[in-house]
C-alpha cells in the first residue's frame, strides 16, 4: 500500500461532544481537496465514547489508536506521528481551533523549503477570532519568553496546536522526544532545530474553545519541562544514531 500524501494526527481525551463534528468538517474539506490522506485519532484513555464515535464517523482512512490510560497529549501526538505514513504530517487539535482550511498555506510554505511549519497566533497577520481568558494569554506570553530564552529562540508561538511536519523531520524529532505533557511541542521543535531542520512560523486564524482540555496545572507544569529539555540535551539524550548532533 502506497503512503498517503497527508496524515492528520488528532490527540483526543474525552472529546465525544466535539470530535464527531470536527471529523465531519475535516472529511468534507479533505474529500473536496482531492489528495490522498489518512486520519489518526489517538484516544488518550478517554472515559466517554470518544473512540467509538470516531470509529463510527464514516471518515475513510481513519484509524483509532487507544492508549492504556491517560498518558498525556505529548505521548498521544508522538504515538500518532510515529504511526503515520504520510509524506506530510499535520497535528491538529480535536476542536479544530485553527480551521483545517489553513492547511494549504502550511503546505505551500513546506513546498517552499520548510521542514516544519508552525501555525502562529503571535505573528502580525494572525486572526484571533475568540481570545483566551486574560490569565491564560499572559501565562502563555511568559512561557514563550522562557521558551525563546532556553529552547528555541526566534519562535513566537510554539503551543498552537496546528503544525505540519515532513515525514523525515517528524520521524526523527518524535522518536527522540521524551516528554508526555504539554511541553512536547517545545521539545520536538528543539530536537528538529538541533538536527538541522528548517522551522517556519506563519500567522493563522484561531479561535479559543471554552471547553479546552488544557488545565491550569498542566500549564504550570510546562515551565519546569523547559529545564528538563536542557538537562536531556546536556545528557546527550537527543543525540541522533551514530553520534550526529
Enclosing domain of residue 29: 6-243
Beta-strand pair 116-120/199-203? parallel
Burial 148-182 (b: 16+ CB within 10 A, else e): eeebbeebbbbbbbbbbbbbebbebbbebbbbbbb
For residue 128, being part of any structural domain is answered with: yes
For residue 1, being part of any structural domain is answered with: no
Name the domain count of the chain: 1
Residue 169's pLDDT is 98
Per-residue pLDDT of the chain (245 residues; tens, 9 = 90+): 689 999 999 999 999 999 999 999 999 999 999 899 999 999 999 999 999 999 999 999 999 999 999 999 999 999 999 999 999 999 999 999 999 999 999 999 999 999 999 999 989 999 987 766 666 776 777 878 888 878 899 999 998 999 999 999 999 999 999 999 889 999 999 999 999 999 999 999 998 876 555 554 455 667 788 899 999 999 999 987 544 44
Give the CATH number, domain containing residue 239: 3.90.550.10
CA atoms within 13 Å, Cβ hemisphere of 154: 9
Written as nine digits, the cell of 91 is: 497535528
For residue 174, being part of any structural domain is answered with: yes
Residue 201's pLDDT is 97
- In which element (H, E) is residue 48 found? none
Residue 133's pLDDT is 67
For residue 177, being part of any structural domain is answered with: yes
For residue 139, being part of any structural domain is answered with: yes
Q: Which residue has the cell 522551522?
A: 199
For residue 130, being part of any structural domain is answered with: yes
CA 46 to chain centre: 19
Amino acid at each position: 500500500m502506497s503512503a498517503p500524501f497527508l496524515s492528520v494526527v488528532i490527540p483526543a481525551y474525552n472529546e465525544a461532544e466535539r470530535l464527531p463534528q470536527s471529523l465531519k468538517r475535516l472529511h468534507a474539506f479533505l474529500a473536496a481537496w482531492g489528495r490522498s490522506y489518512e486520519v489518526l485519532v489517538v484516544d488518550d484513555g478517554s472515559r466517554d465514547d470518544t473512540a467509538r464515535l470516531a470509529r463510527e464517523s464514516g471518515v475513510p482512512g481513519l484509524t483509532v489508536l487507544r492508549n492504556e490510560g491517560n498518558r498525556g497529549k505529548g505521548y498521544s501526538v508522538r504515538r500518532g506521528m510515529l504511526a503515520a505514513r504520510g509524506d506530510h504530517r499535520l497535528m491538529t487539535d480535536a476542536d479544530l481551533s485553527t480551521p483545517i482550511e489553513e492547511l494549504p498555506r502550511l503546505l505551500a510554505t513546506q513546498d517552499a523549503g520548510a521542514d516544519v511549519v508552525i501555525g502562529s497566533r503571535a505573528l502580525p497577520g494572525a486572526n484571533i477570532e475568540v481570545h483566551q481568558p486574560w490569565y491564560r494569554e499572559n501565562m502563555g506570553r511568559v512561557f514563550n519568553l522562557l521558551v525563546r530564552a532556553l529552547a528555541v529562540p526566534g519562535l513566537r508561538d510554539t503551543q498552537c496546536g496546528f503544525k505540519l511536519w515532513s515525514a523525515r523531520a517528524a520521524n526523527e524529532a518524535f522518536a527522540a522526544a521524551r516528554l508526555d505533557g504539554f511541553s512536547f511541542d517545545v521539545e520536538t521543535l528543539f530536537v528538529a532545530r538541533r538536527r538541522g531542520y528548517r522551522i517556519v512560523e506563519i500567522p493563522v486564524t484561531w479561535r479559543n474553545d471554552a471547553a479546552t482540555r488544557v488545565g491550569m496545572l498542566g500549564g504550570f507544569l510546562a515551565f519546569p519541562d523547559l529545564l528538563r529539555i536542557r538537562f536531556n540535551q546536556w545528557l546527550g539524550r537527543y543525540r541522533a544514531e551514530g553520534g550526529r548532533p
